[in-house]
Amino acid sequence: MIESCVHPACNAAPITPSSVGASAARLPAQITPDMSLTLRQLVDALTMELAYQKSPAGVRDIERVATLMRSWDSSDRSAWAKYALFDEEKCYTRNLIATDKVNFTLMMLCWNKGKTSIIHDHSNSECWVRVVQGNCLEERFLQAGDDAPLVQESLTTCPAGAVTHISDKIGLHRLGNASNDDVLITLHCYSPPFSTCKVFPDKTGHGVPITMSFYSEDGVKADCPASAGSTSTKTLPAACAN
């Protein structure tokens, strides 16, 4: 049975990419699907590309970022294992990899078997998701009014290697582990970064503001009690309802 939840909140200090600072210099025009990037190279590429896209001379290019996300070579698990932190007591964990605090945040989400997020928006941010391991279930919704039920637009299963994108202009969604037998790992890029969003626990257009949190930062577990914040499942019991 699929179970959904909200991650508890805390005040997490983001990590700044070290090797490439935010600048308006763009990557080479040819970003091709056959590129192979290490995680460090992906962070540097996102830092440069998304700084350019947000600059006065830049234009938002969803597919260029999606291609970068696809180009990450995840075959060497030892290169990213420190970010793949699970907690059996949570539906999923949010593990911060890098952020420039202005244009993007990159994080790894680790999902326990059969768990999903609650339906949520993205605070006017662009969201790209790369499936690293397992099969990811994405369910999209449209709002028909504050009191009206959300309208399911699509239900998709994304295999390992797939990249999906969503923004508030497209709609709301929830993600989750399509399997009750295996874990799921996903890589998320958000541009610009955000620390709050709205969730929709009663499946209507009425959103509830929450504060987001990180389970770990650069592979180190954050000092955040499970009961902290107003977004715990105790506060929102409907968050774990099917």
Q: Sorting pLDDT into bands at 50, 70 and 90, what band is 31?
A: low
User: What does the pLDDT read at residue 25?
Assistant: 62
**Residue among 24, 21, 27, 28 nearest 56 (CA):** 24
- Residue 165 annotated in ligand binding: no
End-to-end CA distance of the chain: 8
Dump pLDDT digits (tens) for 92-135. 999 999 999 999 999 999 999 999 999 999 999 999 999 999 99
Q: Which domains does the chain have, with CATH numbers?
A: 3-240 (2.60.120.10)
What CA–CA distance (Å, rounded) separates 171 from 143? 7
- Residue 7 annotated in ligand binding: no
User: What does the pLDDT read at residue 228?
Assistant: 28
Instruction: Find the mean pLDDT for residues 21-33.
Output: 59
Considering the entire predicted model, what is its pTM? 0.85
User: What does the pLDDT read at residue 27?
Assistant: 66
